[in-house]
Structure 1
Amino acid sequence: MLFNKERRIQYLGFNDFWFSVIGVLILSLITDYLFNNSFTKHPFGIAVINWSASLFFTIIDWFIIRSIMIFLRKKYPDFRDDKKRILIFFLTIVSTVLFVDFVGGFLLENILNAFGINSSHTTQLKIILPILLVTIMTMAIYEAVYYYIRLKKSIKEEEQAKQVIVQTQLDALRNQAQPHFLFNSLNTLRDIIDQNSKEDAKEFVDKLSDVYRFILQSGNVNLTSLREELRFAQAYIHIQSERFGNNLKLNWRIPETALDAMIAPMSLQLLLENAIKHNVISKRKPLVIHVEAKDHQLIVQNKIESKSTKIPSTKVGLKNIQKRYALISNKSPEIKNDGNQFIVSLPLLKITDQNKSYASTDY
C-alpha cells in the first residue's frame, strides 16, 4: 500500500506520498519543540539526534494511524457508516499517540540508560494534548479529501443512474409510437381492402414497407432533425393519399432555416395520423392540414370535422409526444382545441435545450 500508487488513490482518494513526507516532518518538528525544543537549547548535532527520536515516533504514529484508517475505510465504505467509522478512528488516534509515546519513551529511556545517559520520560498532558490536536487536524485533511471524492463519485453515479432511467423511458416511448403507427396503418389497410381493389391494397402494403424501412434506417434516436422528420411525414402522407386522393391536402410552410432544428422523431407523423384518423375526409369536406415552422415551433393545425362513428383509439399519440418532450427538454408541446380548430405546437429544439440528465446520453 505504501509504494502502490493505485492502491493509495483507491483508499485515500489521492496520492498522499508527499503529503505523508511533509506531514511527518512537520509533526516531528512540532513534537521535538514541545518536548525538548532541541534546536534552541542544544548544539545542532545534539538537536538533530533529539529530533531523530521525535521523527521516529512520528513515523510510527503516522503509519499505524494511516493503516487503521485504510482498514476502517475498507470495513465501513458506506456513507451511513461514517459516524461509526470516524468515532472509531478518533479513538484510534488518541490510543495510538498515547501508546507510542508511552512505549517509545520507555524503550528510549532504557536504551539511553544502557549507554550511561541518564534519561527519564514521562507523558505530560500539556505536551501530549497539542500533539493529539495536530495529529487529529492532519488526519481530518485525509477525511475531508476522502469525503469529497466519495461525494463526487456518488453524485456522478446518481447522474448516470438518472441517465439510464431517462434513456429507458425514452426507448419505451419511442417503441410505443411505432406500434401505434402500425395499428392505424392496419385500420387504413382494412378500409382499402373493403373499398378498393386488391392491387390498391398490395400497392399500399408495398409503400407501408418503404415507410417501415425508413423507420429502421433512421436508427434508435431520441432526437432527429426537422429535415428528416419531414421526409418521413411526407412519405406517410404519400401513403394516405393513395386512399384519400385530393380529399387530403397538406399545406407545408417550412422555411429552409428551420430544417436543421431538432424534434422528437415520429412526432409530426403522429399528429398527421391523429388528424386523419379523427376527422371526416371526403369530397364535400376535405381535410386540410397546415404545417408551419415559426417562432421556434412546428405548428400543425386543422379544422375539426369529427367523424360520426368513433374509430378505436389507443390514446397514445399526444401523450407519447408530451412525455418524450418532458424527458428531453424543459419545453412542452402546446395543444389547443376550441371546438373549431385543433392546433398542436411542437417546440423546435437545439442541443443546448436538452435536460442535463439527458444531454450526456448517447443518442
Structure 2
Amino acid sequence: MPLFNKKKRIQYLGFNDVWFSVVGILILSLSTDYIFNNSFQSYPLGLAFYSWGASLIVTICDWLIIRRILIFLRKKYPDFRDDVKRIVIFFIAIVTIILIVDYVGGSLIEYVYRLLGKNANYITQLKVLLPVTLVTIMIMAIYEAMYYYVRLKKSIREEEQTKQVMIQAQLDTLRNQAQPHFLFNSLNTLRDIIDYDTKEDAKDFVDNLSGVYRFIIESGNSNLISLKKELKFAKAYIHIQSERFGDNLKLTWDIPEDKLSTMIVPMSLQLLLENAIKHNIVSKAKPLLITVVIKVDTLVVSNKIQAKSTQTPSTKIGLNNIKKRYQLISNKTPVINNDGEYFTVSLPLLKASNQKTTHENINY
C-alpha cells in the first residue's frame, strides 16, 4: 500500500509525504479545533487537549480517506488530458468526505463526551465546515502542484530523450553517408590511375587508401572531432592525392597551434578538399592551389575555380552533408561563397559548449 511503501508514495504522490502528512494533519486539526471550539481559549488546559484530540481524530480520518481517494484517482486518470476531470472529481470527493466524516465523527465525539459528563458542542454546521473545506483544499492543492511538477519534469525529460535519439539517428545516417561518398570519389580516382598510370601506382594508391579508411574506422562514431585529428586525416588524404598529381596539387596550411584543440565535424575538411580536386582541373598547365587557414573562429578552405570541361557526375552529397551535420550539432552553419573566381567554404570551429543543449536535466 502507498501508505507504508515509500516507492509507491513517490510514484503516486510525486514525493515522500510522511512529514508533509504529519505537519498537514497538525495544522488542519488545530485549525478545525479553533473554528469549532477555540478550545485553548474556552476550556481548561486538560479539557482543551481532549477537545483538540477529538479534532485530531476527525482530521486523521479526513486526511487518510481523502489521500486514498487522491491515489485512486491518479491511478485511474494518469494522463495530462485527464487532469481537469480528475481534479473536479477530487474536489467533489473532498467536500463529500468532510461533510460525512466531520458530521458523523462530531456526533460520535459529542455522544462520548456526554457519557463522560463533559459539555462539548461538536455537531457540525455547514457555515462552520466551509472554512475547514477551504483549508483542506489548499493543503491538497500542494499535493496536486507537486504531482504536476514531477510529471512535467518527467515528460520534458522523455521528450528531450526522444529528440536526442532522433537527432543521433540523423547524424549517424549523415556520417554513414559521408563514407560511401568518400569511397565513390576514391574509386573514380583509382579508375583514372588505372587508365593513365602504372599498375604499381594503382597498388600504392590502394595501400594508402586502406590506411585512410583505417583512420576513419578508428575515429569512431563521434559527432565532433578535434581539429588536430581532422587535419591529420585530411593531410593523409592529400598525401594519397599527391602521389597522383605530384606538384600540380598545392596546399597552403595556416593553422595556429592554439586552435588545434577546437572541434569540427568529422570528415568535413576532407570532403571539401575532395570536392575541390574532383571538380577542378589539376594539371601542370593549371596547378590547383588550395588554401586552408584559420580566420577568427572559422576554418576557411578556398581554391581558384578552374572547372573541368567534362565533369565527373556529382552526387551533391558533400556540402549538404556537412551543413546538415553542423545544423544538428550546433547553432552555427558553414558559409559557402562562390564569386565566380574563387570557391570558399568557412567551417565554424566549435567547443563542447557550442553543442545544442537539451532540457533532460531541466529544473523549474
Residues 60-69 or 115-124, more deviating: 115-124
Match of 2:313 in 1: 312
CA contact (8 A) 1:166 1:357 kept: no
Alpha-carbon distance change, 26 to 117 in structure 1, aligned in 2, over 3 angstroms: same
Q: TM-score, with normalisation over the residues of structure 2? A: 0.95
Aligned partner of residue 357 in structure 1, secondary structure: coil
Map of 1:104-183 to 2, 5 A cutoff? 104-114=105-115, 121-183=122-184
Q: Structure 1 CA distance, aligned partners of 2:122 and 2:136?
A: 21
Q: Deviations over 1:211-262 (max 9, x none)?
A: 0001011111111111100100011011111211111111111121111111
Structure 1, unpaired ranges of 5+: none
- Matched length: 360
Indicate if the aligned counterparts of 2:35 and 2:128 stay in contact, CA closer than 8 A: yes
SS of equivalent residue, structure 1 residue 132: helix
Partner Cα distance (2:263, 2:121) in 1:
82
Q: Which residue of 2 aligns with 1:352?
A: 353
Change (3 A) 1:44 1:357: closer
> How far apart, CA to CA, are the structure 1 residues paired with 2:120 and 2:346?
91
| Matches of 2:120 and 2:46, distance apart in 1 | 18
The answer to which of 150-159 and 304-313 deviates more is 150-159
Contact 1:163 1:358 in 2 (8 A): no
Aligned to 1:272: 273
Look up the match of 2:76. 75
SS class of match (2:358): helix
Q: Which residue of 1 aligns with 2:333?
A: 332
Matches within 5 A, 1:7-86: 7-86=8-87
**1:245 maps to which residue?**
246
- Change beyond 3 A, Cα 1:113–1:265: same
SS of the aligned residue for 2:152 comes to helix
Superposed displacement of residue 134, structure 1: 0.4
Q: Which residue of 2 aligns with 1:261?
A: 262
Q: Aligned partners of 1:269 and 1:78: how far apart in 2? A: 50
Tell me the distance in 2 between the aligned counterparts of 1:120 and 1:280.
Answer: 105
Q: 1:109 Cα deviation (Å)?
A: 4.0
Residue 299 of structure 2 contacts residue 347 of structure 2 at CA under 8 Å; is this kept in 1? Answer: yes
1:331 to 1:23, Cα distance in 2 relative to 1, 3 A = same
Residue 298 of structure 1 corresponds to: 299
Which residue in 2 is equivalent to 1:196? 197
Tell me, in whole angstroms, the C-alpha distance in 1 between the residues paired with 2:59 and 2:358. 48
Deviations along 1:102-154, one digit per CA (max 9) or x if unpaired, are 22233334444555667775331111000000000110111111111211222
Is the CA contact (8 Å cut-off) linking 2:157 and 2:360 kept in structure 1?
no
Distance (Å, rounded) in 2 between the aligned partners of 1:248 and 1:224: 26
Q: Deviations over 1:17-60 (max 9, x none)?
A: 11111111111111111212221111111111111111100000
Higher deviation after alignment, 110-119 or 22-31:
110-119
Change (3 A) 1:302 1:120: closer
Could you tell me which residue of structure 1 aligns to residue 229 of structure 2? Answer: 228
Bigger mean CA offset, 336-345 vs 151-160 = 151-160
- Which SS does the other structure have where 2:252 is aligned? strand
The whole-number CA distance in structure 2 between the counterparts of 1:166 and 1:358 is 14
Structure 2 vs 1, CA of residues 252 and 120 (structure 1 numbering), >3 Å: closer, same or farther? closer
Aligned to 1:283: 284
Moved over 4 A (4+): 112-121
Distance 1:142 1:119 in 2: 34
**Change beyond 3 A, Cα 1:223–1:179:** same
* Code of the aligned partner of 2:82: D
Q: Partners of 1:283 and 1:261 in 2: how far apart?
A: 36
SS in 1 for 2:331: coil
CA deviation after TM superposition for structure 1 residue 272, in Å: 0.3
* 1:299–1:266 CA distance, 2 compared to 1 (3 A): same
Deviates more, 1:78-87 or 1:100-109: 100-109
What residue identity is the alignment partner of 1:284?
A
Shift of 1:294: 2.2
Q: Is the CA contact (8 Å cut-off) linking 1:336 and 1:344 kept in structure 2? A: yes
Q: 1:251 to 1:140 in 2, by over 3 A?
A: same
Q: What letter is aligned with 2:101? A: V
**In 2, distance between residues paired with 1:8 and 1:213?**
54
Name the SS for the 2:299 alignment partner: strand
2:50 partner amino acid: I
**What's the counterpart of residue 92 of structure 1?**
93
Which range moved further: 306-315 or 114-123? 114-123
- The TM-score with structure 1 as length reference comes to 0.95
